[in-house]
Amino acid sequence: MNLILIGAQGSGKGTQAQLLAEELRLKPCASGDLLRDAIALQTPAGRAAKPYYDRGDLVPDDIVADMILDNLQQLGDAKGIILDGFPRTQRQAELLDRRLGEMGAHIDHALYLAVPRDVLQDRLSGRVVCAAHGHVWNLKTHPPRVPGVCDLDGSPLSQRSDDTPAKIKHRLDIFFGETIHLTEYYRRQNKLVQVNGNDSVEVVHAQIRARLGVERAPAPVQNEQSAANG
């Protein structure tokens, strides 16, 4: 099974990706992680991407697609992949479908975590991360036991530099102005699975399991991930 997660930052994509990866034995493929790993491993796609990455430019879609296909060909024990962060546009989705088709693969479902914009704004404004390992907490929805200190490693918590009101608004503008149109693309293919992301991690995950026909319950959430992540 190959899945795509669609949702704005703050929708809980990161949490649900982790749960689905563990439960369905899927290989997580977050676009940022793919890029950094490919560069570090000096794969052909990683070498092609490095000049763009070093300049701070967007990596061309074809190169990102190559990284995804590389992962599909190196699944190990995984039974598929779960994509987070690519595609972001219909052009990218069409490219991905074409490239997957060339190797006899396809996307099975596109999961959309629907959360109102005002809720996303509120979630992101309360998000903090720890200095040691980047564990994510939310002062409003999932606070640490001791204010300002990560429960998991004891390091100090701080707001990310890109979680200022202006930058949050900019990211949400991009999602609701552009990425949201992917839902129609996958709806036309009868692959869209839309769930209400404005609920607890457990309830959202139960919705996804029900829509995918997955009956086995996942292991309890034991880490920092929350609906504030994504």
How far is it between the farthest Cα atoms of the chain?
52
172 vs 83, 87, 169, 208, CA distance in Å? 20, 16, 5, 23
User: Which residues are catalytically annotated?
Assistant: 13, 88, 127, 160, 171
**Two tokens at 183?**
């839902």
pLDDT by residue for the chain (230 residues), tens digit each? 899 999 998 898 888 988 899 899 998 888 778 788 888 888 888 889 888 888 777 788 888 888 888 878 777 888 888 998 889 889 999 999 998 999 899 999 999 999 999 999 888 888 898 888 878 888 877 789 999 999 999 999 998 777 788 888 988 998 999 899 999 999 999 999 999 999 888 999 999 999 988 765 444 444 444 444 45
CA-nearest of 179, 183, 202, 185 to 194 is: 183
The whole-model pTM stands at 0.79
Give the full edge-to-edge strand order of the sheet including 157-158: 136-138, 127-130, 157-158
Instruction: State the CB neighbour count (10 A cutoff) for residue 187.
Output: 14
| Sign, CA torsion 30/35/37/41 | positive
